[in-house]
Structure 1
Amino acid sequence: MSSPSLSSLVLWCLGAFLCGSIPFGLLLVKLAGKGDVRQHGSGNIGATNVSRVGGKALGIVTLLLDILKGFLPVFLAKRLGLGEPVLALLALWAVLGHVFTPWLAFKGGKGVATALGVALAFKASMVLPALGVFIVLLLVFRYVSLGSVMSAAALPLVLLWKGAPPMVLLLWSGISLLVIVKHHENIGRLLKGTESPLWGAKKEKAHV
């Protein structure tokens, strides 16, 4: 595994941030002639809100593109032989790009799909346990937000179990914390019992 120079590392981080910052949900809904997704539902630019505003097909495309924009920079760096701490750092910057996209006044999505993308590129085996947590909680409780928060929390725990080095654990804990914090409103509604489920909720009143 190689280590880049400081200048190269800065460029890699910038590239990961810009790649993660592309607001695919916003762009796709506008191209579909359905207006600004931020003015509907939860106001989020992620796949869940896009599916409620623009339909399931548009939501699926948004999900795949948001995964891809996280996957790509980490995958390229991995193919070039960069070490795991660098890959974890790039993963964090890609998720930061989605959450704080500069094209939308640094207001973006909640980072779930992009976190999935960087995880797939970083170590695909860490995704299955987290995905299992998401699916089980979604099927039982119907809340995307609950599944998202708990699956994000599972990622660094999986790495800890796999014996990842401290720096990698720290960076992935940062990614997990970022996703959880971005769901703070959902967490509040879950605690109050007012969160809208994935199915059976009206489009304009969905909060995920």
Structure 2
Amino acid sequence: MTILICCVLAFLVGGIPFGFLVGRFVLKDDIRNHGSGNIGATNVARVIGWNWGGFVLLLDAIKGLLPTWLALRYAADNQLENMILHLPVAAGISAIVGHMYPVYLKLRGGKGVATALGVVLVLAPKAVAIALAAFLLTVAVTRIVAVASIVAALTFGGVQLYLMRDTMLDSKSLSLTVFAIAIPLLIIWRHRSNIRKLVSGEAPPPPDSPASDVPASDSDNAVG
């Protein structure tokens, strides 16, 4: 019951559509009608500006970090030794899925990258540092945030599994092992339209390109 309540609350918090709300506040319109049609920080930056995009990125990360951290504190304060890792992992996964499929927007959410960043800052900070370095390097080389997000997700999963190589199948850490495999795969799945476009040679314009403000035909073309 504790895990269920924690997951439901984290899902609802993770589903708060900050990109949509900022778009309403600044544009007086649905952000999904502009740019790539996505509610994520990248599309907000593309349409409104990097200051607002950074603000949404921060808020999306916090809505992943906060439920995860609170679940960790709850498990520790109540001496739930068997759930000390499982409870925050469950909360983190729920927050990420909540961002991807928010009930407030009929399950049309973002890619989950920023929210996942907030979660892993609590669960696996060592792997985060390497994944962020991979993200920044890929952005510098390709200027395509979607590619950098996929590379960062794969890097995080690989590094975290390596760090856990001696304990990944232990009962106390198995949930984090599942997280390190499942969440990168889920993020890649959410980027499937980007992958199709890249494979077909239809690379998206960089966020600061004038062509990037052309409305998209669907809501699955940006990172969030």
1:201 positional shift: 4.9
For residue 22 of structure 1, give the secondary structure of its aligned residue in structure 2. coil
| Counterparts of 2:51 and 2:96, CA distance in 1 | 24
Q: How does 1:103-182 map to 2 (within 5 A)?
A: 103-163=104-164, 164-166=167-169, 167=174, 168-182=176-190
How big is the shift at 1:174?
1.4
Segment drifting more, 33-42 vs 60-69: 33-42
Q: Which runs of 5+ in 2 are unaligned?
A: 77-82
Letter in 2 for 1:193: G
2:204 paired residue number: 196
CA deviation after TM superposition for structure 1 residue 181, in Å? 0.4
Name the counterpart of 1:19: 13
Aligned length: 202
Q: Please list the CA deviations of residues 45-81 of structure 1 after superposition, one character each: whole Å capped at 9, or x if unmatched.
A: 0001011222211111100000000000111122232
Q: Secondary structure at the match of 1:120?
A: helix
Distance across 2 between alignment mates of 1:88 and 1:153: 18
The partner residue of 1:62 within 56, 75, 79 is 56
Runs of 4+ in 1 over 4 A off after TM superposition: none
Q: Distance in 1 between matches of 2:151 and 2:27?
A: 34
Q: Superposition RMSD on alpha carbons, in Å? A: 1.5
Q: Matched residues, percent identical?
A: 38
TM-score normalised to the size of structure 2? 0.85
Match of 1:94 in 2: 95
Letter of the aligned partner of 2:46 in structure 1?
A: R
The residue identity in structure 2 corresponding to 1:138 is: V
The whole-number CA distance in structure 1 between the counterparts of 2:19 and 2:40 is: 6
TM-score normalised by structure 1 residue count: 0.91
Structure 1: state its 5+ residue gaps: 1-6
* Alignment match, 2:194: 186
Distance 1:38 1:58 in 2: 15
Per the alignment, do residues 49 and 66 of structure 1 end up closer, same or farther by CA in structure 2, a change over 3 Å counting?
same
Contact 1:119–1:127 under 8 Å retained in 2: yes
Contact 2:13–2:95 (Cα < 8 Å) also in 1: yes
| One-letter amino acid of the structure 2 residue matched with residue 189 of structure 1 | K
**Is the Cα contact below 8 Å between 2:16 and 2:102 reproduced in 1?**
yes
